[in-house]
């Protein structure tokens, strides 16, 4: 997300700049409580076999839909991993 100009935030919210580059994006469909399996596959299978390494940057998640509007089985989460 790009924010217009300087904005003030207060704890517990903080701003974290994201590095540019190529991100591997894994789309998980289902409850948030099941995402551990997705993370295990991303790091333990895909990353190992991809020939890439994880960059020294935080992984982040995007939530394209809202648990108040869709069933748990239809929740989408995009797990974004900066790779090198």
**Whole-angstrom distance, CA of residue 38 vs CA of residue 45:** 10
**CATH number of the domain that residue 51 is part of:** 3.20.80.10
pLDDT tens digit at each of 84 positions of the chain: 677 778 888 999 888 888 899 999 999 999 999 999 999 999 999 999 999 999 999 999 999 999 999 999 999 999 999 999
Q: Which structural domain range is residue 59 located in?
A: 23-82
In a domain, 18, yes or no: no
In a domain, 5, yes or no: no
In a domain, 58, yes or no: yes
**Domains: count for the chain:** 1
Q: In what order do the strands lie in the sheet with 60-62?
A: 23-29, 76-82, 60-62
Secondary structure letter of residue 72 according to DSSP:
G
Any idea which residue has 């929740």 for tokens? Answer: 75
In a domain, 17, yes or no: no
Any idea which residue has 């509007």 for tokens? Answer: 69
Task: Assess contact for 42 and 28: CB atoms under 8 A.
Answer: no
**Whole-angstrom distance, CA of residue 31 vs CA of residue 48:** 25
């Amino acid at each position: 997300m790009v924010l217009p100009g300087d904005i003030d935030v207060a704890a517990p919210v903080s701003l974290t700049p994201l590095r540019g580059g190529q991100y591997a994006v894994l789309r998980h469909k289902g409850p948030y409580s099941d995402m551990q399996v997705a993370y295990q596959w991303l790091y333990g299978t895909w990353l190992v076999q991809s020939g890439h390494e994880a960059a020294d940057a935080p992984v982040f998640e995007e939530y394209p839909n809202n648990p108040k509007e869709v069933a748990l089985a239809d929740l989408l989460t995009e797990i974004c991993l900066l790779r090198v």
